[in-house]
Structure 1
Amino acid sequence: MRHPSLQKACLSLEKATQAYETLCTCRDFKTFRFAWADFLQAHNHVFSMLANWAKDRPKHNAWYGCVRKIRREDELLSYVHQARNAFEHGTQEIHGESGPKFVYKLKGPMLLVPNGIQILGEVTESQEWKPPSPELHTFINSKKSYAPPKRHLGSQIPDPTPQKVAELGITFAELKLQEAEERELEG
């Protein structure tokens, strides 16, 4: 039988995956904002449950210490973890200072859309509107600045969108949950 903490980690991973799927398909900022918050919470809970599982097992505790170190030092994992902390404990809103924002793009200039569409110059018929796409930006948590990640586990992130960051975060969480389950079977 699977340890209760590993069961909860698995459930949280499913929640993170559902949030990721919503991030990939939503068409409005409100839905995106909620899905991003859900992803951050669920992703963090996976690791909280892995820590809970490992805490009373010396050899597993050492393993989780390595996982914690990777989360602290890896750009992507640290960004996700600190964005969750800023959302949960900070005064900044996730869709403002500590989360994604939507950007409309024309074939020419890029337009920020915080409270409506701002057109720079004249829009011609040759310019095409693309649907809004969220992007990550730098935020501050506990007086430390966190820039959007450019690297993950030693590799360049070619397109660091919120969706790509969530996808890579889930892949890492899946791997660590699988390792924990294998360790549980070994005893």
Structure 2
Amino acid sequence: MTRPFDAKAIPKCHDRLSKAKQALQHCRSARNFADFASHWSSFLIHTGSIINAVEAGSKQTPQGRQWHGGIKREGRKDPLLRYFFQARNAEEHALDPTTEHQQPGIGIGAGGESIYIKEFTPDQAFFQNPEKAIQGRIWRTADGKPPTIVHTPGGPQLLTVKDDRYGEAFPPPTEHMGKPLAKTDPVYVAERYIEYLEQLVQKASDLS
């Protein structure tokens, strides 16, 4: 009896999954943004190869094509899956980057309060714990409460990906499978994508 998924595609899926995990580990330990961007590119390419291998393995039977059709519909609806599909295309076929390095920042009075700064000299300790570091450096608001502080961490950040063919833009995802993402930094979002791909490869293997 012919199985829905071609078993010959499974080794390639596992090989690309292993390489994608290695690239992501290098992203975690990157010492500078150039190093991160290089490994991020590898991550996108290897994860894209998994998607391609799954598609190839599902073409042999009507059952496989039907199953893969459901996978494609899921990918078009889910913000995280849609983003990585477009990011991989941008990495291979476009010129615009998919990540950038953002300097750490701080917003004081982000709630619209009127404040008066007595002294403000940001240092490393300031960005590590801005709420504590501003004590004694800034007047409180008119009602005597501490001002609203928003801290923007530095490091790699995802960029909106554009599909110039259809004039569409795909912002960094904030949810996956109907649930909000706890964070939006590249490594965290990529970890969620790896989890999805692991499950996808397992389903393909079960059908082979």
Shorter-chain TM-score range: 0.7 to 0.9
Alpha-carbon shift at residue 68 of structure 1 (Å): 1.3
Q: d(CA) in 1 for partners of 2:12 and 2:57?
A: 10
Alpha-carbon shift at residue 180 of structure 1 (Å): 0.7
Q: Which residue of 2 aligns with 1:123?
A: 121
Q: Which residue of 1 aligns with 2:48?
A: 44
| Equivalent runs, 1:6-85 vs 2, <5 Å | 6-85=10-89
Q: d(CA) in 2 for partners of 1:141 and 1:76?
A: 16
Residue aligned with 1:135, SS = strand
Does the CA contact (< 8 Å) of 1:20 and 1:163 recur in 2?
yes
Matched, 1:148 2:188: no
**Aligned residue identity for 2:94:** G
Q: d(CA) in 2 for partners of 1:48 and 1:148?
A: 22
The share of aligned pairs that are identical, in percent, is 26
Q: Which residue of 2 aligns with 1:134?
A: 156
Q: 2:204 aligns with which of 173, 180, 185?
A: 180
Q: Which residue of 1 aligns with 2:104?
A: 105
Q: Which residue of 1 aligns with 2:91?
A: 87
**Aligned residue identity for 1:157:** L
Does the CA contact (< 8 Å) of 1:75 and 1:149 recur in 2?
yes
Does the CA contact (< 8 Å) of 1:54 and 1:64 recur in 2?
yes
Alpha-carbon shift at residue 10 of structure 1 (Å): 0.8
Alpha-carbon shift at residue 31 of structure 1 (Å): 1.0
Does the CA contact (< 8 Å) of 2:10 and 2:201 recur in 1?
yes
Q: Normalising by structure 1, report the TM-score.
A: 0.81
Q: d(CA) in 1 for partners of 2:77 and 2:17?
A: 21
Residue aligned with 1:14, SS = helix
Q: d(CA) in 2 for partners of 1:61 and 1:70?
A: 14
The CA deviation string for residues 10-47 of structure 1, in whole angstroms up to 9 with x for no partner, is 10111111111111111211111011111111111101
Please identify, of 129-138 and 35-44, the stretch whose mean Cα deviation from structure 2 is larger: 129-138
Stretches of structure 1 that go unaligned for 5 or more consecutive residues are 111-120
Does the CA contact (< 8 Å) of 2:83 and 2:161 recur in 1?
no
Stretches of structure 2 that go unaligned for 5 or more consecutive residues are 1-5, 109-118, 129-152
Q: d(CA) in 1 for partners of 2:155 and 2:122?
A: 21
Alpha-carbon shift at residue 104 of structure 1 (Å): 2.4
Does the CA contact (< 8 Å) of 1:101 and 1:134 recur in 2?
yes
Does the CA contact (< 8 Å) of 1:104 and 1:129 recur in 2?
no
The CA deviation string for residues 125-147 of structure 1, in whole angstroms up to 9 with x for no partner, is 57545684111121312221110
Q: Report the CA distance shift for 1:84/1:124 in structure 2 as closer, same or farther (over 3 A).
A: closer
Q: Normalising by structure 2, report the TM-score.
A: 0.73
Q: Report the CA distance shift for 1:67/1:128 in structure 2 as closer, same or farther (over 3 A).
A: same
The CA deviation string for residues 31-77 of structure 1, in whole angstroms up to 9 with x for no partner, is 11011111111111101001100001211211111111111221001
